[in-house]
Amino acid sequence: MPEGVFSKVLHQYEFRPAQMEMAQAVSSALKEGETLLVEAATGTGKTWAYLIPAILSGQKVVVSTGTLTLQDQLYNKDLPFLSKNLPQHFSFCMMKGKSNYLCLHRFYESLQQSTLSDFGVSSDMGLIQEWAMTTKSGDRAELTALSESSPAWQDVSIKGDSCLGGQCPEYSRCYLTRLKQDAAAADIVVVNHHLFFADLSLKNQGYGEILPRYDAVVFDEAHLLEEVATQFFGVSFSNLRVDDFVRDAESAFRYGQKVGLPCFEQCRMLVQYATHFFKHFKKGAERYRLRKADFTPEVRADGSELVESFKHLGRLIEKLELKSEAIKHLSERIEPLLNDLSIFLGEGQAGQDLIFWAEHRRSSVFLHASPLDVSSILSERLFSGERASILTSATLSAQGHFNFIKARLGIIQAEEKKLETAFQYEKQALLYLPTHLPPPASERFASEMSDEIVRILEKSQGRAFLLFTSWKNLDAVYQHIRGRLPYQLLKQGDQPKQALLESFRKDSSSVLLGTTSFWQGVDVQGEALSCVIIDKLPFASPGDPLTSARIDALQQQKKDAFSSYQVPLAILALRQGIGRLIRNSQDRGVIAILDHRITKKGYGKFFLDSLPSAPRTEDFNQVALFFEKKPSLI
């Protein structure tokens, strides 16, 4: 309320009717055990609108986010503030995936197996060793100087397959054990979607659980749910899993007892057979569908050799007279590995609703079997009405309603609320929709788009996000505009994401070029971001294996895949990108969409209807006037 407790403790407190409306809806859903969809525009204050009712409900509530950034914000900022200022006492904790935490067992093994000179050579291991002596959480986020891809961290972090669980000698001191105890006692447990669906998948398979029992769940950034659920209700098999198994096996064989040479030799044979098998899937495209023709007799033969190699190592392990817990656990890991591999060698016999595809990143190859449709799984396992589920995001509706997201997630019955923005787009923003550029499929598009971008950036004085639908367009534009502008160009991939954003904020005239991950979950307020330029309408590539399979499935059902799937999905993505610009009531800027299909194609109307209520123009002079702050546009 305007005169409530927060008005007395917050210097710039602002009462937001939409926030109150959302809080009342969340409170009702928690009380009635309902599913609630809330589209809350930027500026609503949605985190407090669901946290406060969750706290006051007295229920145990899991809050799941789409990004670690938001997860950290809730745990380190919002919940501590509410804990201090709300009259009701509550406890809270944060859980991340296992790989984020130090494994004490593997860490102590690495200490015993390494010499002092090894630690002198490995600066990363030196950092980890020094930090391990003082950390209370074991969370690698504390190791800010350690690179994300550090091999040293891979050697000492907790891994799902290799975790010994209750048989581990360090179980009572394990950071994960203590974290699970904290989560069991907490009223609010903050996780991310990946961990939530990893837990749901384990429960679905009858393999236990990660999260404690809870009464209700809140999904923030809920537009990402289908993508994450698809990942965790599928099966993946990769050369990295084989490499991890072999590394753990060799470590277990060396540690604490003498093991015969045949075990080590068989580990080397495993690597050799895995190399032969996975080389067949290193093709030109990074991601492609796997079809029956991809499983040639040679592929099957190499796959069979890999299977037999695993089985032979299992037999050697069984013959060992003395077995440590780590060695016993190796035997338990072989069967799941073989089960997953057999799904691919069986050419999809595990189920007709799976799409098989492959991807390779540098030396890593992943084989995936993903569900075409997760709606039936989620309908049964998540939205069956047993507990309250609140889904919120700035982008949940497409074409004015929630039908698309409900169908994709299997939500049959739900309360719905669409909260309008508190921002005055009519005064704060201008939509520039040029029509003179060639179509995106044209060979001239990249060069002419680059010229247009230079024109816009000269008027905006940099201060822009350039959002691209592909790496190809990003790289082409970067090459075309570099050296033509007096502004620092920050390119995705050159630095970690957070480092790029920090550089962007510090240099108020810089320009950041990014792809998919920069379209969402990025919050830059103030003049540093005064322009968002989007290369083209963000249709998912028909060549993407999951997209193409879903299009095929819809067409087989005699449905128009373009209007029922591709257009709504692209609308949600476009709204996410546009949402990067206006983040508070003082922000001001131009949104430029350089794809003339939005005004020239019939389906463009659906995109236009989803855009903010800002003035629209195809006249570049209006862009210049806007940045000159002409009174007519303010």
Percent of the chain that is helix, strand, coil (3-state, to 5): 50, 15, 35
Q: Is the pLDDT of residue 53 over 80?
A: yes
| Token pair belonging to 319 | 């013959």
Rounded to an integer, the average pLDDT of 237-251 is 90
Measure CA 574 to chain center. Answer: 17
Q: Is the pLDDT of residue 634 over 50?
A: no
Kindly indicate the confidence band of residue 631, based on its pLDDT and cuts at 50, 70 and 90: very low
Tens-digit pLDDT profile for residues 64-103? 999 888 898 899 999 999 999 998 999 999 998 888 899 9
Q: Is the pLDDT of residue 207 over 70?
A: no
Tens-digit pLDDT profile for residues 543-599? 899 999 999 999 999 999 999 999 999 999 999 999 989 888 888 999 999 999 999
Decide if 429 contacts 591 (C-beta within 8 A).
Answer: yes
In angstroms, rounded to a whole number, what is the distance separating the alpha carbons of residues 458 and 456? 5
Kindly indicate the confidence band of residue 605, based on its pLDDT and cuts at 50, 70 and 90: very high
Tens-digit pLDDT profile for residues 440-493? 999 999 999 999 999 999 999 999 999 999 999 999 999 999 999 999 999 998
Orientation angle between helical segments 239-254 and 325-345, nearest 10 degrees? 160
Quick one: 571 exposed, middle or buried, by C-beta within 10 A (0-12, 13-18, 19+)?
A: buried
Tens-digit pLDDT profile for residues 331-361? 889 999 999 999 999 844 445 588 999 998 8
Q: Is the pLDDT of residue 31 over 80?
A: yes
pLDDT at 152 (0 to 100):
84
Residue 421 DSSP label:
P
**What amino acid is encoded at 72 in this protein?**
D
Q: Say which range, 9-23, 220-234, 506-520, has the weakest mean pLDDT.
A: 9-23
Q: What angle do CA 177, 182, 188 make, to 5 degrees?
A: 135
In angstroms, rounded to a whole number, what is the distance separating the alpha carbons of residues 396 and 220? 11
Q: Is the pLDDT of residue 119 over 50?
A: no
Q: Which residues contact residue 203 at a Cβ distance below 8 angstroms, ignoring those fewer than 6 apart?
A: 209, 381
Residue 611 DSSP label:
S
Kindly indicate the confidence band of residue 3, based on its pLDDT and cuts at 50, 70 and 90: low
- Domains of the chain plus CATH, in order, are 5-91+186-230+374-419 (3.40.50.300), 98-176 (no CATH), 235-371 (1.20.120), 425-633 (3.40.50.300)
pLDDT at 221 (0 to 100):
94
Q: Which residue has the higher pLDDT, 370 or 495?
A: 370
pLDDT at 484 (0 to 100):
94
Kindly indicate the confidence band of residue 117, based on its pLDDT and cuts at 50, 70 and 90: very low
